[in-house]
Amino acid sequence: MPLLKMQILRAMVTYMGQSMIRNAVISSLLGLALCSCASLSKQDCIDGDWQQIGLRDGQSGQAMSRLKDHTKACSKYGISPDTTAYEAGRKIGLVSYCKVDSGFAQGDKGKSYAGVCQGKAEQRFLSGYRLGKELHLARSNLEEDQERMERIDRRLRSVRSEIRALHCKSGEEGKSCRKKKASLRDERDDLEFDRLSATAQYFASQAHYDQTRRDVYARLGIVSGGS
């Protein structure tokens, strides 16, 4: 293990830790998983409040093709959707969806955009959406760096435990044990170096996220004020 590199990294981490450590601003992101279940329940189909269903889909930015999913779900019960009522409700719902703040929220959550807004409404939505995606990316990078540190920490604890548990005999009888212990010590040293490197990267990502967050919210204020 290059001693000089270790010393330099340790100094970097100490300096960056003192200047950048703060309360964690990391929030958990729920993955946008594709659902294989029916788009509507049996009761939704029976109730048949298609304007309300359309309103809900519009508010969540669903494409018009979502109606096909509802048609398939309700066909099992011999029920067809009221297309006119659905379209009317969806149109109302899109009014609240196609706004700057809504676009920002969608982008910040890492959600996709189905191109449902039109004209100036789409321009407003996208101005917020792009800012949200920028912040989402910075946060995702920070979380990945944190996860890397945690993986290294787990393995480092395991290796240290293995080393402590090895009590090698002297002479030829303990040769294999001593060889394994030496190998574990090498891995421990490498992991300690990796841990310092990962920590330095985490602090850099933390600083980038904090700066991005300040910049994004400043620009969001300007965009929202002009909407």
**pLDDT score of 20:** 45
Average pLDDT over residues 167-186: 94
How far apart, in whole angstroms, are the C-alpha atoms of residue 24 and residue 156?
A: 23
How far apart, in whole angstroms, are the C-alpha atoms of residue 89 and residue 140?
A: 35
Q: What's the pTM value of the predicted model, to 2 decimals?
A: 0.74
**pLDDT score of 145:** 97
Average pLDDT over residues 40-45: 92
Higher per-residue confidence, 24 vs 189:
189
Q: What is the DSSP string of the chain?
A: --HHHHHHHHHHHHHHHHHH--S---------PPP-S-SS-HHHHHH--HHHHHHHHHHTT--TTHHHHHHHHHHTTT----HHHHHHHHHHHHHHHSSHHHHHHHHHTT----S---HHHHHHHHHHHHHHHHHHHHHHHHHHHHHHHHHHHHHHHHHHHHHHH--PPSTGGGHHHHHHHHHHHHHHHHHHHHHHHHHHHHHHHHHHHHHHHHHHHHHHHHHHHT-
- Whether pLDDT at 99 is above 80: yes
Average pLDDT over residues 26-45: 60
- Whether pLDDT at 25 is above 50: no
Residue 104 one-letter amino acid:
F
